[in-house]
Amino acid sequence: MKRYKIDWGQELVPPFCPNKHCIHHLEPRIPGWWTRAGYHCTDTFGKVPRFRCRTCGKSFSTQTFRINYWAKRLIDYPEFHQLSSDSMGVRALARHFHCSTGAIQNRTDRLGRQMIALQTYLHQHFHSHEDVCIDGFQSFDVSQYFPNNITLSITRNTRFVHEATHATLRRSGTMTDKQKEKREDLAPFFTFEKDAIKRSFTDILDHLAMQRPPVAGHPLVIITDEKLEYVQSLKGHSLFKDQDQEHLTFHQRISSRAERTYHNPLFASNYIDRELRKDLATHRRETTCHRRSVSKGIMRLWCYIGWHNYHKRFRINNPSMDLSTHAEHAGIPKLPLEWYRDVAYGGRAFLSRFDLTVCDTEAWLKQIPTPLKTGPEYLPRFAWG
Ligand SMILES: [Zn+2]
């Protein structure tokens, strides 16, 4: 016979109404907005208390506000986060945690959404005077006939990753006749986006305009390589067109032939390319691990960005007692960082409570198309909440 244990912890007081259309969603308007509504029994979490909103009538439970909402199995998120950011592939993770590959992908999606929310929330503490390096990381999705370009923005000195956007490109370069033939055979099954790199770079600029706009005394300095698309994109963007004496934007272009040393102004971009190549199983060279789905791959990337920014030590050669992260060096104070870093492993982030950019929203909702895949990616209904 199953025995259930009631968790009457601190979460007995619901923080807000989960209905995004309710007046108590962003901030409860009156203290007595909810009422108790019994409990339901679960194998994983025991007896779960339920509530009802007095205004909209929405019924919910303590689980509604937890990262494991609708989950049927508990996985240790900090351990999962570390292993997935240390180049462990999906199957190896499934073996380690004694679960299915589907469960691993499900937890990756949950954690990826948490990391997007954490990044958006903590940006209010961020220093607004550092130069930003932007460059494209090349890999592929599905097969080598669908190369991609992941454009990343990263601060020049503190190496804090700001944003990542994705573009699928048409395969080019040297190919055998057979390879050219196969590329033509696959072409009718996928529509390549026109000016994908320009759009991808514009998404990054949109994010900078929101999160790192130029301010008086601290112009925005963007460092890129010499790709023509970057110049064209910047010239059409409000960061360039609407600048005045107090809101200046500078663009520094670095030759790809310049030595890739620490003194290269684009060092931060070269550094994050190297880290992604060695730390994410999907981007290792000559491996059976590669992206089968663009949206799932983006969620894995966001898990890694969260790990890199908020958990990874800034420099391994610093004294061993120095556990400071890239986020702290980029200006985020230690106390809120530690608090929200822990909350991200427990409390569920609601899409409706964050003001995300277009590309972050697409990543959250898994709307980025995968070559040769028909139909949308599966997304649980609560991810829209
Ligand atoms: Zn309500």
Q: 136-184, pLDDT tens digit by residue?
A: 999 888 888 999 999 999 999 999 999 999 999 988 888 889 989 988 8
pTM of the full structure: 0.92
For residue range 324-334, what is the model confidence (pLDDT) as tens digits?
A: 999 999 999 99
Can you give the pLDDT at residue 328? 94
Q: Per the domain annotation, does 282 fall within a domain?
A: yes
Q: Residue 128 pLDDT > 60, yes or no?
A: yes
Q: What is the dihedral of CA 233, 234, 238, 242, to 10 degrees?
A: -140
Long-range contacts of 263-268 (CB under 8 A, 24+ apart): 265/131, 265/133, 265/156, 265/223, 266/133, 266/135, 266/223, 266/224, 266/225, 267/133, 267/156, 268/133, 268/154, 268/155, 268/156, 268/157, 268/159
Question: What's the gap in Å between 52 CA and the centre of ligand 1?
Answer: 8
Can you give the pLDDT at residue 319? 81
- 């573009």: which residue's tokens? 167
What is the count of structural domains for the chain?
2
Residues 171 and 208 in one domain: yes
Question: What's the gap in Å between 45 CA and the centre of ligand 1?
Answer: 24
Question: What's the gap in Å between 265 CA and the centre of ligand 1?
Answer: 51
Q: Per the domain annotation, does 167 fall within a domain?
A: yes
Question: What's the gap in Å between 347 CA and the centre of ligand 1?
Answer: 19
Residues 95 and 61 in one domain: no
Q: Per the domain annotation, does 384 fall within a domain?
A: no
Which protein residues have a CB closer than 5 Å to ligand 1 (ion)? 17, 19, 22, 24, 53, 55-56, 58
Q: Per the domain annotation, does 221 fall within a domain?
A: yes
Residues 310 and 254 in one domain: yes
Range of the domain at 170: 84-378
Question: What's the gap in Å between 12 CA and the centre of ligand 1?
Answer: 16
The C-alpha atoms of residue 196 and residue 309 are separated, in whole angstroms, by: 27
Question: What's the gap in Å between 32 CA and the centre of ligand 1?
Answer: 12
**Structure tokens belonging to residue 58:** 């929405």
Can you give the pLDDT at residue 173? 84
Residues 35 and 123 in one domain: no
- Average pLDDT rounded to a whole number, residues 199-209: 95
Q: Per the domain annotation, does 367 fall within a domain?
A: yes
Residue type, 359: C
Question: What's the gap in Å between 269 CA and the centre of ligand 1?
Answer: 45
Residues 214 and 114 in one domain: yes
Q: How confident is the model at residue 221 (pLDDT cuts 50, 70, 90)?
A: very high
Residues 238 and 292 in one domain: yes
**Structure tokens belonging to residue 223:** 């460092």
CB burial readout 336-357, b (16+ within 10 A) else e: ebeebbebbeebbbbbeebebb
Question: What's the gap in Å between 352 CA and the centre of ligand 1?
Answer: 14
Residues 31 and 121 in one domain: no
Residues 268 and 205 in one domain: yes
- Average pLDDT rounded to a whole number, residues 20-25: 95
Q: Residue 9 pLDDT > 60, yes or no?
A: no
Residues 103 and 182 in one domain: yes
Q: Per the domain annotation, does 4 fall within a domain?
A: no
Residues 273 and 315 in one domain: yes
Residues 294 and 342 in one domain: yes
Question: What's the gap in Å between 36 CA and the centre of ligand 1?
Answer: 13
Question: What's the gap in Å between 384 CA and the centre of ligand 1?
Answer: 16
8 Å CB contact between 103 and 94:
yes
Residues 57 and 100 in one domain: no
Can you give the pLDDT at residue 10? 45
Question: What's the gap in Å between 34 CA and the centre of ligand 1?
Answer: 8
Q: Per the domain annotation, does 79 fall within a domain?
A: no
Q: Per the domain annotation, does 76 fall within a domain?
A: no
For residue range 244-303, what is the model confidence (pLDDT) as tens digits?
A: 988 999 999 999 889 989 999 999 999 999 999 999 988 888 777 888 899 999 999 999
The C-alpha atoms of residue 101 and residue 105 are separated, in whole angstroms, by: 6
Q: How confident is the model at residue 11 (pLDDT cuts 50, 70, 90)?
A: low
Percentage above 70 pLDDT, the chain = 97
